[in-house]
A and B are shown apart, each in its own frame.
Chain A
Amino acid sequence: MLIHRRRFVAALGAGAVASTAGCAGGSQEESGGGAGVAGETLTLTTTTSTYDTGLLDAIHGDFEEMYGVTVDAVAQGTGAALESARNGDSDVVMVHARGLEDEFLRNGYGVNRRDLMFNDFVIVGPESDPAGIQGMASATDALTAIADAQAPFVSRGDNSGTHTKELNLWEAAGTEPGGDWYQETGTGMGEALNVANQQGAYTLSDRGTFISQRSEIDLTILVQGPIEDGPEILANPYGIMAVNPGVHDNANYDLAMAYIGWITSPGVQESISEYQVNGEQLFFPRAVSENPDFQQYVPEGWSSDSSDE
Chain B
Amino acid sequence: MPIEPVAQSLPGIARVAVDLPLLLDLPFREGYVWSIIYVSLYVSLTAVALSTLFSIPVAVVMGFTDFPGKQFVKSVINTGMGFPSVVVGLIVLFGVSNQGPLGALDLIFTKQAMIMSQFVLATPPITAISLAAITGVDESVRDAAHVLGGTRVDVALVVLKEARYGIATAILAGFGRAISEVGSVLIVGGNITGADGISKTRTLTTAIQLEARQGQYGTAMILGAVLVALVLAVNAVVIRLGDQGVHR
Contact = CB atoms under 8 A, between A and B. Distances in A.
A and B touch in the complex (CB under 8 A): yes
B213 A52 contact: yes
B195 interface: yes
B34 interface: no
Contacts of B194: 60, 64, 70-72
B213 A56 contact: no
A63 B215 CA distance: 29
B98 interface: yes
A6 interface: no
A270 B103 CA distance: 38
A254 to B, nearest CB: 16
A64 B215 contact: no
A190 B195 contact: no
Nearest to A216: B215
Interface string A183-217: 00001111101100000000000000100110011
A89 B193 CA distance: 17
A89 B191 CA distance: 14
B213 A48 contact: yes
Interface string A16-59: 00000000000000000000000000010000100010001101
A89 B190 CA distance: 11
Interface string A60-96: 1101100000111111100000000001110000000
B192 interface: yes
Nearest to B97: A87
A191 B209 CA distance: 10
A13 B197 CA distance: 25
Given A61-B196, A71-B195, A72-B200, A248 B214 contact: no
Nearest to B190: A74
B192 A89 contact: no
B108 interface: yes
Given A57-B197, A74-B192, A89 B214 contact: no
Given A87-B98, A88-B103, A89-B98, A191 B213 contact: yes
B106 A190 contact: no
Contacts of A175: none
A250 interface: yes
Contact of A217 (B106, B191, B215): B215
Contacts of B201: 72
Contacts of A76: 190
B196 A190 contact: no
B99 interface: yes
Q: Kindly name the residue among A61, A72, A250 whose own CB sees the greatest number of chain B CB atoms within 10 A.
A: A72
Given A89-B108, A89-B109, A248 B98 contact: yes
A209 B196 CA distance: 22
B20 interface: no
B214 A52 contact: yes
Contacts of B98: 87-89, 248, 250
B190 A64 contact: no
B216 interface: yes
Contacts of A190: 212-216
Given A56-B195, A74-B190, A88 B97 contact: yes
B136 to A, nearest CB: 43
Given A72-B109, A88-B97, A89-B97, A187 B213 contact: yes
7 contacts: A48-B213, A63-B195, A70-B200, A73-B192, A87-B98, A189-B213, A190-B215
Interface of B: 97-99, 103-104, 106, 108-109, 190-197, 200-201, 210, 212-217
Given A88-B98, A190-B214, 17 more contacts: A43-B108, A43-B109, A52-B213, A56-B195, A57-B193, A60-B195, A64-B195, A71-B195, A72-B190, A72-B201, A88-B103, A187-B213, A188-B213, A190-B216, A191-B215, A209-B214, A216-B215
